[in-house]
A and B are shown apart, each in its own frame.
Chain A
């Protein structure tokens, strides 16, 4: 089992073939096959990013139209308390979400890899099903379930004649959102980790068993290190998703009253600035700053884990 980290250049499988006449003659066809994707890539990724950067360096004034304003929008953003508190909030979400999601995904994957019954196969499907449900509907369902007026908790607390806690209040909304996202994404990450556990050669376990390793030891010292590259992949996905958190708070905001404001997450703030207040230049600056932050965080994480886990 090779442990090359994912998201790196796969090596050409047959190095000796490099530079043969057959190769050179056909190489230009590479560009022909790549061209359609390359065009979409330039038009819908490179161009919007460049345009967002350009917009972020300008300010739209009623009198003078678009005017170059240098880094003014960024200076404004980093002095904007609403933006900064949104940033701190998603950072907090990332610290909570990522370990919970990946931790649960890993635990379930290890159990499902170990227990092979009809029930465990059924559970595997159930854990994955939320991935097939749109985030909007996931948020709506949990919004109802957490609702102080018609959630099941109300019924439960009525039985003991107590006031049910308001799960959509300012104090508890953070945990309600954590719950929704955990429900939505754990299954997806679990399947990725589970699939790589499945590809481990079982003779390794036999060797460990003969050496007297317990199941827990086998899991911690053999399975987890082997699937480290899937763990890194799922952590990066989870991190990228969390930092651009948008759908769930946006959907829950009318249900949750004043617990979720227009700047709850940076992405929500950028959306509201752009579409409610027509401040496209400032919204672009926020969007671009957030994008850059997500990008750099992922790259730094990938480089850091590459060294730590001894991967090449």
Chain B
């Protein structure tokens, strides 16, 4: 079935498009279990509850959040979602839009960069038997176990000495590091791209870079999308790194910005109470990623198992 004698990746997606047709024939004993569906229904309510709360809360005024009709889990009679969105766009000269833009910049610049590096490095590990490969790969595997937060404080001091803190680079550059992405790419490439294919291209006189770009790269697409998605999500959700690196309000990503608003509302008197902006801002900020995940379902559902199955 596979071209290699040792099947390394046996996951749902491979380059040959082999997708196991599972349970095409329903097992006779398989009945729709009521108990299991009940359990799933409880799970669905639990996992949906905060999101539902956010939708409701995003449509309330600050006063409505505390004393509104309908309680915390239903809409207030004063439906203020559009007022909140308008206020988001203008409060503090529209800083919320800046934060969203920054989040996009950090997530995509860091995510694309990390993915490109992971694709190249994964290809090197999978398809070249260069000197030191085994040792470098062992170091890479060990580095997956290094907690990224341990790197933030020394990186901050190093950047501070170079005058790089409080710049977009202080968030983007450390985000380029993704050892797990390299690992995923290697595992995938090893199985999905037969050596014979590359050798055939070489015999035909194709250079190493052309072989990579025209033969190998198109075959890696599912894994690239998965690694890209994971890196972009990692960048979008990042909190510790920008919190440490940035103090300029106009450079913050939306995660840090919203938390600053929360802190402000917690300690402020009536004038600074912007709980409605905290909730509406949170609601607006989670929409892009949820949509991305719904649209890219087939990639992450198969791709996430890449690292664990061999």
Residues of chain A having any CB pair with chain B under 8 Å: 1-2, 4, 6-14, 17-18, 22-23, 26-34, 36-38, 40-41, 44-45, 47-49, 51-52, 55, 108, 111-112, 114-117, 119-120, 122-123, 125-138, 140-142, 144-145, 149-152, 154-155, 183, 187-188, 191-192, 195-196, 198-199, 201-202, 205-206, 209, 229-230, 232-234, 236, 240, 243-244, 246-247, 250-251, 254-255, 267, 270-271, 274-275, 280, 283-284, 287-288, 290-291, 294-295, 298-299
Contact = CB atoms under 8 A, between A and B. Distances in A.
Q: Which of B3, B27, B244 has the most A CB atoms < 10 Å from its CB?
A: B27
A57 to B, nearest CB: 13
12 contacts: A2-B310, A4-B8, A10-B8, A29-B130, A48-B151, A114-B33, A144-B57, A150-B72, A195-B301, A199-B305, A271-B153, A291-B146
Given A30-B133, A244-B147, A205 B27 contact: yes
B300 A191 contact: yes
A127 B43 CA distance: 7
Nearest to A232: B308
Contacts of A115: 32-33, 36-37, 40
A180 to B, nearest CB: 9
B124 interface: yes
Contacts of A246: 149, 239-240
Contacts of A191: 300-301, 304
B53 interface: yes
Contacts of A251: 259, 262
Contacts of B310: 2, 4, 6, 10, 229
Given A52-B150, A271-B240, A280-B153, A150 B290 contact: no
B116 to A, nearest CB: 8
B177 A44 contact: yes
Contacts of A295: 142, 145-147
B71 A155 contact: yes
B104 interface: no
Nearest to A20: B199
B77 interface: no
A262 B180 CA distance: 31
Given A27-B128, A34-B121, A55 B146 contact: no
Given A37-B118, A119-B40, A134 B239 contact: yes
Given A7-B141, A151-B72, A195 B47 contact: no
A48 B158 contact: yes
Contacts of A132: 233, 286, 289-290, 292-293
B11 A44 contact: no
A44 B186 contact: no
Contact of B4 (A13, A37, A122, A240): A13
B8 A229 contact: no
A229 B282 CA distance: 36
Nearest to B22: A202
A299 B293 CA distance: 32
A244 B150 contact: yes
Contacts of A136: 237, 239, 255-256, 258-259
A155 B40 contact: no
Interface residues on B, range: 35 or more
A49 B177 CA distance: 14
Contact of B267 (A26, A198, A254, A283): A254
B61 to A, nearest CB: 13
A198 B208 contact: no
A12 B54 CA distance: 50
Contact of B12 (A27, A131, A138, A195): A195
B177 to A, nearest CB: 5
Contact of A126 (B47, B186, B243): B47
Contacts, number: 347
A209 B40 CA distance: 24
Q: Which of B66, B134, B142, B255 has the most A CB atoms < 10 Å from its CB?
A: B255
A120 to B, nearest CB: 6
B128 A230 contact: no
B221 interface: no
A247 B233 CA distance: 16
B53 A141 contact: yes
Nearest to A158: B71
A112 B12 CA distance: 16
Interface in B96-139: 116-118, 120-121, 123-125, 127-131, 133-134, 136-138
Contacts of A232: 308
Contact of A122 (B44, B128, B144, B286): B44
Q: Which of A40, A229, A274, A275 has the most B CB atoms < 10 Å from its CB?
A: A40
B160 to A, nearest CB: 9
A196 B11 contact: yes
B190 A48 contact: no
A133 B294 contact: no
Interface in B223-282: 233, 236-237, 239-240, 243-244, 255-256, 258-259, 262-263, 266-267, 278-279, 282
